[in-house]
Chains A and B, each alone.
Chain A
Amino acid sequence: MQNNDVLRMRGIAKRYGSLTALHGVDFTLARGEVMALLGENGAGKSTLVKILAGLERADGGSIEIDGQHVRLRSPVQALHAGVAYVTQELSIIAPLSVAENICLGGGEPHAIWTARALRARVQPYLDLVGLGGIDPAMPAGSLPLAQQQLVEIARLLSRNARILILDEPTAALSDAEIEMVKSVVRKLAAEGRSIIYVTHRLGEVFEIADRVTIFRNGRSFDPVPVRNLDIDELIEHLLGRRLEQMFPERATSLGPPVLALREVTAPGLRRPVSLDLHRGEILGLAGQLGSGANAILRAVAGVAPYDGGTIAMRGRTINPRSVREAIKLSIAYCSDDRKRDGIFAVRNLYETFTSPALPRITVGGLLSRRREVQLSSELASFFEVALSRLDTHAGKLSGGNQQKVALGKWLGIEPAILLVEEPTRGVDVGARAEIYRHLRKLASQGLCVMFASSDNQEVLGLADSIATFFRGRLVRVVRAEGIQPEELLRDVTHPDESQPGMAA
């Protein structure tokens, strides 16, 4: 294997502020192999891949391609060195033709192209990705998503990419489309190109990968040939030790149901979902991107209203068509992107904390400074945000503090139900534990919390009940004590593979 290595990365280190993403990681890739990268969120795999693609700069370590030391400081340099990165967000330009998309940015010597010349030039690459049958002159935007992905791969191949990074290429695709992508991957590997395949779906690893490198807490393990592994071993490798002390005690008893979903269909769900949320309960919706876990929250929050079935709150059917309507029903919702819609980066914390509860600090149309200070101090103390920081801009805070503000502001409306997407995304370990503790405290005071997370540890540690989701459908609902980490991982990655006792 040694002299067949096309890529060698040694001692790659990367820190983001106080957070170490990679502690001196080694990684090798052989010619013509498909290497799967596995790891939980935040394990460091996407950081490594971004460094290789020239999107991030490593703080230390060396990268060799074909035995040559290379510097990858921009995507252009990476492509020059033969590394191409296919992200989940495609860079296809919809109104341009397939052929134009493939040639885009290729730096061709000829100033003028005819459609025929373009067609002739791109045909070999289209054949290579299994799109030989489509008309290169059709607009790329009219193709289904999977084919657009293949067009993007064809573009990178036309730039002579020898190392292809596919980042969760199948996350948003249907089964038939996934087959198409997989067969192209196999074909490219057979041609002698090397593929790095980032995925959360364990099943795929066994189907197409030759070897697998596992990441955990910013470290990588030596690559293991897939034929020597079985799925249970893989899961064990993936999870490693637990961080039990991170999570507060669970609820001892639950109150009556507050929210009842019956056969609900909504954008992002493929099958109707029925769920119950009780007073004082923390319900964790576990699932990867596109699993439908977020879709449930958005339906209840009025962001993406539901279109079938019923949602009842304390026995009364509700149908919020907007966030405003949901707020009036005492339903608060925190999205997974706090910078986009959770905080006001250029306003101070007083203003962010009181923003959902302006009526509470208003007297006759005028803002009462006294009430504003009082309310925001109350909320800040509950979430342990230093009162001395109330007059700093929300954008200046660390990720953890921003998240506390994004969550804490909702207490101002005294919600009955709190919906949270990815409660600790981009939050360091210390602040995570605090946020878990605060959410538990709120639940014990009678609030219902429903959160969606792609972080299995978080779901296992925080939730009283767990609903697992896989590609738009609810797999099952269980008590948190009643599920093993391995089972949870299986549910959200490949629930269909021969596991008894699983209601679909």
Chain B
Amino acid sequence: MNSLRIVADRLQAGSSGEIDPNVAARRRRAAQIMLTVGAILLIALGGATTPSFLTFDNAMVVIRQASVTGIVALGMSYVTISGNLFALSAEELAILTACIFGWLMRAKFGLALSLLATLIFAGLGGAVQGAVIGLGADPIITTLAFGGFFRGLASVVSGNQNILLGTNAAEWLGTARPLGVPTQSWAFLFLTPLAWFVLQKTRVGRVLLLTGANREAARATGLRVDQAGLIGVTLLGICCGMAGISAAAQFGQAVANLFQGLNFDVVAAILVGGIALRGGQGSPIQAALGAAFIALLENFMLLNDLSSGWRMTVVGALVTLATCVFHLLQRRR
């Protein structure tokens, strides 16, 4: 269903004609205002109504949860900004990499080798999709298909059973809190400015931005349009790999039903963060903020004993609202 909604959004985005250059700034401002106001309201509301909400441990739960989604959202922002909408195989690739990491650890390849091999595999998983998209295939359909492929492969690798890592070597990666902050959050905190820097300050990032802004013009100025897509999806793949490793390490096992709803959460982070679906605008920082906000909201609802059905309804409604608001902003000239 989520995919359907995204396809619908895509059609809508494609049909609404010219781009108003004012929109980017207005969109970013609107997103930041909405997120900030929303976060303050949530914290205030949470603090007033939920005793455990503002405690330190709780904050750590929120942050760890947000961090994994956030890392994948950073990768996804590259895909969106380079003009390829979304890769709907993020969840599946994360599951597959978790299983592969688990399998490698169980087979006693050692931590370093397992990490390296898993990340390389994850990058390749992204690169293959990027190459297909680079040939001109529709990104949504392509990644939807690859998602099925990855999920199936994950079942095959795990034999539909828990893969126990059988060693504590990776445990630190998944559960430690250096200086009181979870490892995933360190990674997220480190990767967010890095993602921003690469996009804004390197030549590769510029090619990505320009390709997303106007693919035809990018081609006509001699930029490597096909590479831009490839790099975006490859980086997303590596982010999915990190998420997969983190989950396997955190629980000491890998299983094919991890990361439920990750695709939607990541897409929601992009949309709530206000990154333009047309590409060429926005920043990974917006995706990071969006992910953090959604995690905060989810956590607040969880502590208030809302059922998963309600939580999904609320987040879905929020994404719909964000999409509508940005769409209206876009139409107003």
Contact = CB atoms under 8 A, between A and B. Distances in A.
A and B assemble together: yes
Interface of A: 323-324, 327, 333, 335, 340-347, 351, 355-356, 358-359, 362, 365-367, 392-396, 409
Contact of A346 (B201, B202, B213, B221): B213
Given A365-B204, A367-B202, A395-B21, A344 B220 contact: no
Contacts of A345: 19, 21, 213-214
B120 interface: no
Give the interface residue-count category, chain B: 20 to 34
B24 A351 contact: no
B235 to A, nearest CB: 15
A365 to B, nearest CB: 6
B217 A340 contact: yes
B206 A358 contact: yes
Interface in B199-241: 201-204, 206-207, 209-210, 213-214, 216-224
B210 A344 contact: yes
B192 interface: no
Give chain B's interface secondary structure class.
helix
A133 B21 CA distance: 53
A356 B222 contact: yes
Interface in B248-292: 276, 278, 280-281
Nearest to A356: B221
B202 A342 contact: no
Nearest to A363: B203
Contacts of B21: 345-346, 392-396
A355 B210 contact: yes
Contact of B219 (A341, A362, A394): A341
B216 A341 contact: yes
Nearest to A410: B221
Given A365-B202, A395-B19, A327 B24 contact: no
Contacts of A365: 202-204
A25 B22 CA distance: 36
Interface in B1-31: 19-24
A340 B207 CA distance: 17
B17 to A, nearest CB: 11
B16 to A, nearest CB: 14
A344 B203 contact: no
Contact of A333 (B22, B220, B280): B220
Contacts of A346: 19, 21, 23-24, 213-214, 276, 278, 280-281
Nearest to B207: A358
Nearest to B279: A346
Contacts of B206: 351, 358, 367
Nearest to B20: A395
A323 B24 contact: no
Nearest to A334: B220
Contact of A362 (B23, B203, B224, B278): B203
B220 to A, nearest CB: 4
Nearest to B203: A362
Closest 8 CB pairs of A and B: A393-B21, A341-B220, A341-B216, A395-B21, A327-B222, A356-B221, A344-B213, A362-B203
15 contacts: A323-B220, A324-B224, A341-B214, A344-B213, A346-B19, A346-B280, A346-B281, A347-B209, A347-B210, A358-B207, A365-B203, A366-B201, A366-B202, A393-B24, A396-B22
A340 B19 contact: no
Q: Among the interface residues B206, B207, B276, B278, which one has the most CB atoms of the partner chain A within 10 A?
A: B206
A341 B217 contact: yes
Contacts of A341: 214, 216-217, 219-220
Nearest to A392: B21
B214 A344 contact: yes
A300 to B, nearest CB: 14
Contacts of A396: 21-22
Contacts of A355: 210, 217-218, 221, 223
A345 B20 CA distance: 8
A328 to B, nearest CB: 8
A153 B327 CA distance: 38
Contacts of B220: 323, 333, 335, 341-342
Contacts of A394: 21
